[in-house]
Structure 1
């Protein structure tokens, strides 16, 4: 419509009218683009806020998982400290309990980060809409941490003790001393009270066989140190999550 009026004004040499119509055309196009831009920005802000809510949910899930993981590895470390007594001249625990402790000290649970919302924000170019630069920097630092990769290598103790412990004993420990849960996800806990229901003399012989492994006690100590470092790092990770949650929820 405007272009037609501009054309008529030019043909009639009505330069003023043509100029006015042309200005109105440019203004209309400008505002049309601006409205589209404002609408796109509004949609981006809405999407970013939805991701922010999901990010909070992911961090809460991760916090719960890490809390359980710390408790699990504290239990593993406790078993390892009991298992170290197997090399004492007069161990306080009986052979059956020591065999259980030796096996449980080899356990490990992997850590998997719940980072779907953060990765989606980054992939869709919306991360700059989350909080201020300081918060975005902390988020990038948190999700860029390689805490989980530090412990990807298998414990030497785990490999060695499971190589020397008889399979029937390992099965009894799994059947009687490990509790699997599938309530919200597959998880594992270690029972403090379990009976292998095996002959005491057989368990004493198994224990003596395990103790003869030349480096097992050193590997076990190494495992205790590794679990302690893991617990320390994960506890620090919890504090980091709490700070992030506080900032994200205040936006």
Structure 2
């Protein structure tokens, strides 16, 4: 309609009105562009706040997960130390508890830490909208370091394969049933794993004695268990480190949102 009016006014050489109509068109286009820019800015701001809120929840889940893993692997380490004590002293008597300790020392938590929001944000190019440069750098460094640490978290030293290869199947089956870890769900939705504080296999003496002899006589089983303990110590140190990093970053981000 405006274009038709401009043509009519131009046909009558009414240049003042033509100029006024053009000005109205330019102002309309400008206001439309501004409204679109304001809307995009609002959407980006809302998206940034959504990312920030979800990152805070992911970090809180990481804290809970790392704390739970630390307790789990402390139990594993306790069993590993008890088993190594028997292996390092050939004259020491060994029975059902040695079998339990040897088997429970192989337990692992293979899951990864939560990073879904960060990965989604990177894929969408949303990191630049998260906050100031210092905060963006902290977030990026946390997840980059976590990716490196996951290599250690998921590592499985040879002891697990070694023990489960030489321990008789009947003993392992009984251990899996009688000493089964308890699985649950944390408030964040993450799976939780808890080893029992005590259990009993209740196997015949002959079966226990045969299994003990087979394990103790397996070449380099003590060396593999020693290596496993070193790996457990490193995991526990990293759990402490990254729980602290996750907590500090979360608290920093919560301050930014308050």
The residue correspondences of 1:27-106 to structure 2 (distance < 5 A) are 27-87=27-87, 88-91=89-92, 94-106=94-106
Alpha-carbon contact 2:112-2:150 (below 8 Å) kept: yes
Alpha-carbon contact 1:106-1:155 (below 8 Å) kept: no
> Once the 2 structures are TM-superposed, how far is the Cα of residue 89 of structure 1 from its aligned partner?
4.0
Alpha-carbon contact 2:182-2:196 (below 8 Å) kept: no
**2: CA distance, partners of 1:245 / 1:48:** 15
Structure 1 position 241 matched with structure 2 position 243 = no
> Once the 2 structures are TM-superposed, how far is the Cα of residue 153 of structure 1 from its aligned partner?
4.2
Q: CA RMSD in A?
A: 1.9
The secondary structure found in structure 2 opposite 1:110 is: coil
Q: Which residue does 1:134 correspond to in 2?
A: 134
Change (3 A) 1:66 1:163: same
Q: Which residue, 177, 180, 205 being the options, matches 2:179? A: 177
Q: Which residue does 1:26 correspond to in 2?
A: 26
**1: CA distance, partners of 2:19 / 2:148:** 63
Alpha-carbon contact 1:160-1:216 (below 8 Å) kept: yes
The residue correspondences of 1:146-225 to structure 2 (distance < 5 A) are 146-184=148-186, 186-225=191-230
Alpha-carbon contact 2:58-2:114 (below 8 Å) kept: yes
**1: CA distance, partners of 2:38 / 2:55:** 25
- Provide TM-score, normalisation by structure 1: 0.91
The secondary structure found in structure 2 opposite 1:181 is: strand
Instruction: List gaps (5 residues or longer) in structure 2.
Output: none
The residue correspondences of 1:113-132 to structure 2 (distance < 5 A) are 113-132=113-132
**2: CA distance, partners of 1:113 / 1:186:** 11
Alpha-carbon contact 1:131-1:248 (below 8 Å) kept: no
Q: Which residue does 1:10 correspond to in 2?
A: 10
> Once the 2 structures are TM-superposed, how far is the Cα of residue 127 of structure 1 from its aligned partner?
2.1
Alpha-carbon contact 2:68-2:192 (below 8 Å) kept: no
Structure 1 stretches of 4+ moved >4 Å? 183-186
**1: CA distance, partners of 2:185 / 2:66:** 17
Relative contact order (C-alpha < 8 Å, sep 6+): which is higher?
2
Instruction: List gaps (5 residues or longer) in structure 1.
Output: none
Change (3 A) 1:90 1:212: closer
> Once the 2 structures are TM-superposed, how far is the Cα of residue 126 of structure 1 from its aligned partner?
2.3
Alpha-carbon contact 2:65-2:113 (below 8 Å) kept: no
